[in-house]
Amino acid sequence: MTIAADATSPTANRPGSVVCEGNEAAAIGVGLARPDVVAVYPITPQSSLVEHLSQMIADGRLKASLMNVEGEHAVLCGLQGVALAGGRTFTATCGPGIAFMFEPYVRTPGLRLPMVAALVTRDLLSPQCVWGGQQDAMVVREAGWIQMYCETVQEILDTTVMAYKIAEHRDVMLPVNVCHDGNYLSFGVTRVELPEQEAVDEFLGPPATNWHIALDPLRPMGVDPLTGGAGGVGPRSFVRYRKGQCRGMQNALRVIREVHAAWGELSGRYHAPLVEEYRLDDADYALVTIGSMTGAAKDAVDLARDSGEAVGLIKIKTLRPFPLQAMACALAKVNRIGVVDRSVSFGWNCGPVYQETLGALYHCGKSIPALSFIGGLAGADITVEHFARAIALTCEAQFSRAPREPVWLNEND
Amino acid sequence: MQRQSRDLFDASTIPNDLAPIATVLSGMLPGDWRSLRPLIDRLKCVKCGLCWLYCPVQCVIEKPRWFDFDLAVCKGCGVCAQECPHRAISMVEETGR
């Protein structure tokens, strides 16, 4: 057992590992990144994350200013000012909270502010619901934020620290949402290994958030001037900025891989950065999963393997930017897929990750049987038995060009 | 109309496709987008000062025997012409660009 030497760090007087819930793991990760300002508004199932951070600041284990503001809109507006002034920031929200945050939320990536925000995913209203689901994150997936979905409590802590390095990389300069499933990860308690504060300090370096856009009397500039119009220099500049934003997203695919590799060397924990392939090399067909459901899905794959089924699994960690190359590479190995979503695409009558997977299949030049499964809405458990059913249906899937109905896994629970 | 602008600092090291910023200072004076210009009839002006009071952008300038307008600032709203009790101000179309 080792004790962190720095008495003011979030891991001070704690052993090298603790048993904690996902929200506390996120708070520890934030503390290790030493943000200058934390602005938060509590909302289920994110609230305990806020409580852990508040306690850390009250105890002096995190030297950050805590802004208690009147709502999520003010949270992000305030933090934009902090980032523009050169500070490192953090916030966390979910569900109706991100709905209220939406206006400054969509503006943040265009301003290229490298913020980190936890999205403790929750299903959206209505029906009235405070439980987990990924509908909130899926709704905002075209807002321009990087989205990484965690599978385990440990991965929340590690990804939160890594998120700062990814966001602040000069080739990226984009905000990052670290998504973890409400209820299952937010309140799920496991053992978590704690990195040393000194190692994280060296890993991240000092914040670099406003070298390119700033509120700075020494470099007076207009932040976000009117850019557009019917023709000429206005819309031409707009295109240039949009293209730059897309380039930042594509650069992030490389940077996310590099940062995960560097974190692996530092911590000994190598998380799959973009897409994880599980028992896929000799698989005939596979499930595609995202987030914490993957644990049960891997168990179901193991059980099916035990009974001779050639099934594997593809887990998406990074959904934005979409890891097209990694996904195409994984999909090339199988002949049938079943995609399990924890949210709904109302426009396509299927799961959103299913729709994205079909897009990736086009780039492999493949037309293969593909099924959409929707489960785990409003906090429902997707059990090993649900996944066993998904595996059996995927195994029997036939190719069809006609649109299919999704399979609602919890419909008859 | 004359455009006056100047660089605020050396921004050449910041990529121009990153974040939307303006590093050139422009006064953005209302005179840039005026479509009507006030014209004063010096013989009619009695320097009562009503145009000076009413002007929403404070562009009325005092001369020894009449009031005139700073056309870099005047946005051409015509409030002065409407309020002038001696009908000394008329609005004419801006054709100078």
What distance in Å separates the CA atoms of residue B22 and residue A192, rounded to the nearest whole number? Answer: 46
Of A156-165, A199-208, A319-328, B18-27, the range with the lowest mean pLDDT is B18-27
Nearest CB to A220: which of B8, B15, B18?
B8
CA nearest to B13 within chain A: A212
pLDDT tens digits for A219-240? 999 999 999 999 889 999 999 9
What distance in Å separates the CA atoms of residue A394 and residue A289, rounded to the nearest whole number? Answer: 13
Please report which confidence band the pLDDT of residue A182 belongs to, taking 50, 70 and 90 as the band edges.
very high
A173–B17 CB contact, under 8 Å: no
Phi/psi at A23 (nearest 5 deg)? -65, -35
Q: Is the pLDDT of residue A8 over 70?
A: no
pLDDT tens digits for B42-86? 999 999 999 999 999 999 999 888 899 999 999 999 999 999 999
pLDDT tens digits for A29-66? 999 999 999 999 999 999 999 999 999 999 999 999 99
- Amino acid in the structure at residue B20: P
Give the B-side interface with A, CB within 8 Å: 8-9, 11, 14-23, 25
DSSP state of B58: -
Chain B hits for A224, CB-CB cut-off 8 Å, are: 19-21
What distance in Å separates the CA atoms of residue A220 and residue A178, rounded to the nearest whole number? Answer: 33
Q: Write the CA distances from A81 to A54, A160, A213, A394, B11, integer angstroms.
A: 21, 21, 11, 49, 20
What distance in Å separates the CA atoms of residue A203 and residue A403, rounded to the nearest whole number? Answer: 48
Mean pLDDT of chain A: 95
Percent of chain A with pLDDT over 90: 93
pLDDT tens digits for A63-103? 999 999 999 999 999 999 999 999 999 999 999 999 999 99
Nearest CB to A241: which of B17, B23, B25?
B17
The pLDDT of residue A2: 43
**Total-model pTM:** 0.88
Q: Are A180 and A156 in contact (CB under 8 A)?
A: yes
Please give the ipTM for the structure prediction: 0.86
Average pLDDT over residues A333-354: 97
- β-partners of residue A18 are A192
Percent of chain A with pLDDT over 70: 97
A212–B16 CB contact, under 8 Å: no
Chain A hits for B27, CB-CB cut-off 8 Å, are: none
A212–B19 CB contact, under 8 Å: yes
Residue of A221, A236, A239 best to disrupt the B interface, most CBs of B under 10 A:
A221
Using the Cα atoms of residue A357, residue A248, residue A139 and residue A72 in order, give the sign of their dihedral.
positive
Task: Determine the distance in angstroms separating the CA of A241 from the nearest CA of chain B, rounded to an integer.
Answer: 5
A220–B9 CB contact, under 8 Å: yes
The pLDDT of residue A12: 67
| Token pair listed for A170 | 């000069």
Percent of chain B with pLDDT over 70: 93
Task: Determine the distance in angstroms separating the CA of A226 from the nearest CA of chain B, rounded to an integer.
Answer: 9
Phi/psi at A41 (nearest 5 deg)? -135, 125
Q: Distance of alpha carbon B15 from its chain centroid, rounded? A: 35
Please report which confidence band the pLDDT of residue A106 belongs to, taking 50, 70 and 90 as the band edges.
very high
Domain assignments of chain B as residue spans, ordered by start: 29-93
SS3 B5: strand
A219–B9 CB contact, under 8 Å: yes
B17–A240 CB contact, under 8 Å: yes
The pLDDT of residue B1: 41
The beta-carbon contacts of A261-269 under 8 Å, at least 24 apart in sequence, are A262/A165, A262/A203, A263/A158, A263/A161, A263/A162, A263/A203, A266/A195, A266/A199, A266/A203, A267/A158, A267/A193, A267/A195, A269/A154, A269/A158, A269/A193
B17–A112 CB contact, under 8 Å: no
- β-partners of residue A118 are A92, A178
The pLDDT of residue A5: 44
Mean pLDDT of chain B: 88
The pLDDT of residue B66: 86
Phi/psi at A10 (nearest 5 deg)? -65, -20
Residue where the block lists tokens 């990736």: A360
CA nearest to A228 within chain B: B20
The pLDDT of residue A376: 98
| Token pair listed for B3 | 């455009």
A222–B23 CB contact, under 8 Å: yes
> How many other C-beta atoms are found inside a 10 Å radius of the C-beta of residue B2?
8
Per-position b or e across A321-353, b if 16+ CB within 10 A of its CB = bbbbebbbbbbebbebbbbbbbbbbeeeebbbb
State which CATH number among 3.40.50.150, 3.60.110.10, 3.30.230.10, 3.30.70.20 fits the domain covering B29-93.
3.30.70.20
What distance in Å separates the CA atoms of residue A145 and residue A98, rounded to the nearest whole number? Answer: 13
Task: Determine the distance in angstroms separating the CA of A160 from the nearest CA of chain B, rounded to an integer.
Answer: 24
Per DSSP bridges, beta strands A285-290 and A311-316 are parallel
| Token pair listed for A296 | 């049960």
> How many other C-beta atoms are found inside a 10 Å radius of the C-beta of residue A209?
24
Closest C-alpha among A170, A206, A152, A146 to residue A26: A152
In terms of pLDDT, which residue wins out, A404 or B82? B82
B19–A220 CB contact, under 8 Å: no
Q: Are B11 and A221 in contact (CB under 8 A)?
A: yes
SS3 B83: helix
Residue where the block lists tokens 């620290």: A161
Nearest CB to A213: which of B8, B21, B25?
B21
pLDDT tens digits for A268-319? 999 999 999 999 999 999 999 999 999 999 999 999 999 999 999 999 999 9
